[in-house]
């Protein structure tokens, strides 16, 4: 069995290039009357580019260990321990509710504590799922093969932010709404990716690279603010809280975050 050498540059270059083309086309169609169906198709296609490229990198690698490692991690929960899944499900909502409580003290609406009566869950569930099948399925491990976990998390935050850039120019997209609200909201979006990534990567590796844990954390992080109709201004406080949590995790587990790169994290059991 030959050890696999991860190819982060190839993965992220292909992902960004193809995604940007798709998202740019979607942004163009968003300003063309009557092109909404085509805009939606191209947007969905662009959103799934990381997943498709990830599958191409894994199953086109010719490496049996890599190909067998991927499906074993998809539903891995037995190694998450008693804390992994509860943390994935509860940490973000707890930070969000604390942010809402602080915002209410400063005069914001207490309605942010109330569940929204009508909420579509299809996209908030599917989008994070397919992203994590790629990001934690291949992308983060590819960076981790070259860098320590802290460096990996910071680099991925940067790339993940770049991946979203074309969405700021599409009419009706969440990122474009932030752009219309002002630069501070745009900056908060990019800054928020840093603690989010640090916490998520910590969970991912602490649960023995459980993709399911990453998916659940990401879904909850997307659904929770929408479910409670959280105001955008409250998300500044949410980012601050998550920065404190992420910093605390890094300080407490500094050796884990600064350990040498892991060139071959693949689970090789039962690999040919």
Q: Give the start-to-end residue ranges of the domains of the chain.
A: 8-258
Q: What is the mean pLDDT of residues 114-137?
A: 90
Q: Among residues of the chain, what percentage have pLDDT more than 70?
A: 95
Question: In this structure, what is the dihedral angle of CA atoms 51, 52, 58, 59, given to the nearest 10 degrees?
Answer: 140
Q: What is the DSSP letter of 138?
A: I
Distance CA 175, CA 171 (A): 9
What is the per-residue pLDDT for 120? Answer: 83
118 confidence band (pLDDT: 50, 70, 90): confident
Q: Give, in degrees to the nearest 5, the angle at Cα 161 between 192 and 257.
A: 65
Mean pLDDT of the chain: 92
Say how far apart CA 204 and CA 11 lie, in whole Å: 20
Is 131 part of the annotated catalytic residue set?
A: yes
Residue of 36, 131, 177, 218 marked active site: 131
Instruction: Tell me what the mean pLDDT of segment 131-160 comes to.
Output: 97
**Residues 48, 35: contact at Cβ < 8 Å?**
no
Whether 117 shows a pLDDT value over 50: the answer reads: yes
Per-residue pLDDT reduced to its tens digit, 13-47: 999 999 999 999 999 999 999 999 999 999 999 99
Can you say whether the dihedral through the CA atoms of 225, 105, 182, 165 is positive or negative?
Answer: negative
Residue 136 and residue 128: Cα distance in Å, rounded?
11
Burial of 53 (0-12, 13-18, 19+ CB in 10 A): buried
**pLDDT, tens only, 190-203:** 999 999 999 999 99
CB within 8 A of 248, min separation 6: which ones?
Answer: none
Q: Can you give the pLDDT at residue 78?
A: 60
How large is the average pLDDT for residues 137-153?
Answer: 96
Of 21-35, 107-121, 223-237, the poorest mean pLDDT is in 107-121
Cβ atoms of residues 147 and 259 within 8 Å: no
Q: What is the DSSP letter of 166?
A: G
Residue the block writes with tokens 């997307």: 222
Beta-carbon contacts of 22 under 8 Å, excluding residues fewer than 6 positions away, are: 42, 43, 45, 46, 49
Three-state DSSP class for residue 147: coil
- Asked whether 247 and 133 are in contact (CB, 8 A), the reply is no
Alpha-carbon torsion (265, 268, 271, 272), positive or negative: positive
Whether residue 209 contacts residue 141, with contact meaning beta carbons closer than 8 Å, is answered with: yes
Q: Is 226 a catalytic residue?
A: no
What CA–CA distance (Å, rounded) separates 130 from 53? 11
Active-site annotation holder among 164, 226, 231, 232: 164
Average pLDDT over residues 221-243: 94
Stretch among 30-39, 78-87, 104-113, 127-136 having the lowest mean pLDDT: 78-87
């Amino acid at each position: 069995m030959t050890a696999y050498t991860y190819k982060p540059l190839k993965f992220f270059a292909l992902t960004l290039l193809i995604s940007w083309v798709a998202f740019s086309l979607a942004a163009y169609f968003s300003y063309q009357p009557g092109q909404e169906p085509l805009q939606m198709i191209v947007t969905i296609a662009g959103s799934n580019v990381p997943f498709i490229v990830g599958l191409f990198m894994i199953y086109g690698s010719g490496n049996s260990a890599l190909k067998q490692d991927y499906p074993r991690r998809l539903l891995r929960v037995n190694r998450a321990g008693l804390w992994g899944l509860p943390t994935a499900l509860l940490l973000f909502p707890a930070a969000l509710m604390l942010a809402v409580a602080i915002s209410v003290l400063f005069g914001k609406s207490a309605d942010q504590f109330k569940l929204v009566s009508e909420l579509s869950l299809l996209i908030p569930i599917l989008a994070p799922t397919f992203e994590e099948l790629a990001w934690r399925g291949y992308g983060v491990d590819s960076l981790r093969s070259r860098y320590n976990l802290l460096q990996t998390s910071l680099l991925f935050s940067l790339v993940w932010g770049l991946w979203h850039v074309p969405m700021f120019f599409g009419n009706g997209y969440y990122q474009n709404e932030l752009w219309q609200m002002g630069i501070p909201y745009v900056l908060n979006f990019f800054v928020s990716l840093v603690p989010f990534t640090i916490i998520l990567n910590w969970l991912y590796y602490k649960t023995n690279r459980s993709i399911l844990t990453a998916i659940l954390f990401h879904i909850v992080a997307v659904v929770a603010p929408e479910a409670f109709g959280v105001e955008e201004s409250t998300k500044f406080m949410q980012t601050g809280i998550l920065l404190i949590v992420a910093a605390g995790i890094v300080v407490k587990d500094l050796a884990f975050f600064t350990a040498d790169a892991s060139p071959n994290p693949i689970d090789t059991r039962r690999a040919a």
